[in-house]
Amino acid sequence: MTEQTTTPRRVAIVTGGSRGIGREAAARLAADGFAVVVNYAGNRAEAESAVAAIAAAGGEALAFRADVADETAVSALFDRAEEAYGGVDVVVHAAGVMILAPLAETDLDVLDRMHRTNIRGTFVVNQQAARRLRRGGAVINVSTSMLALRLPGYGAYAASKGAVEAITMILAREMRGRDVTVNAVAPGPTATELFLDGKDEETIARMAAQPPLERLGTPEDIAEVVAFLAGPARWVNGQVLRANGGIV
């Protein structure tokens, strides 16, 4: 008689998982067989809607509220994933804030708010991931192709995402011997609520025409890259993948 062994279900935490890129990444990972913890900051209804959609498609997920910049809350987020599913294999850190203004007109309170979420939040989430991920795991941070585009008005936001890329590159090397990959995805202009908010149709059309593929990205485009890094891409490590349709 042959003894059959079952592979444990892989588990993913997706921060900012209630909307936009995070929500689509959560849905894609669930479709790929992950149990998913959908982290959200404040909109419980959206998070529960994301979980319900995953369940309706045959997946498994739960929602958990945590401010990504609060180390106690993020520790509790990982605790919940471990209690519910036995461990954590993949962390997709998609939570972020984008507020645009020319550097000379940027309110420093706005700068501090953006940096708290985008920089401190990345550090806190990655710190817990570094301590807790199982062998064979992956950390996937979300940066931005605006670092390369250097568009006016994006100074504070791009600066915060520059820190995200630095954390990603260094953590990849600090995880030596753990069999955990650490990468970042840097979307170009992507049709999310975060990106579209405050932009007129002319601006959106102009940005959509810039890539050789002549369209905005979609959350599904970015989720496909996330799924690649979370699953088969074991030899991609310490990299920034600029998922932007060839705009840069």
* pLDDT averaged over every residue in the chain: 93
Sequence-ordered list of residues with C-beta below 8 angstroms from that of 195, at least 6 positions apart, any chain = 98, 189, 216
Which CATH number, 3.40.640.10, 3.40.50.720, 3.10.20.30, 3.40.190.10, labels domain 11-188+221-241? Answer: 3.40.50.720
Strand-pairing partners, residue 140, are: 92, 183
What pLDDT does residue 6 have? 60
Q: How far apart are CA 53 and CA 19, in angstroms?
A: 12
* Stretch 206-230: mean pLDDT: 91
Domain ranges of the chain: 11-188+221-241
Q: Which two tokens stand for residue 219?
A: 């959350």
Residue with the two structure tokens 């420093």: 108
- Average the pLDDT over each of 74-78, 100-104, 119-123, 200-204 and give the range with the smallest value: 200-204
pLDDT, tens only, 90-121 = 999 999 999 999 999 999 999 999 999 999 99
What pLDDT does residue 7 have? 67
pLDDT, tens only, 163-196 = 999 999 999 999 999 999 999 999 988 888 767 7
* Stretch 211-230: mean pLDDT: 92
Active-site position among 40, 85, 154, 157: 157
Q: Is residue 154 annotated as a catalytic residue, yes or no?
A: no
Asked if 221 and 165 count as a contact pair (C-beta separation under 8 A), the reply is no
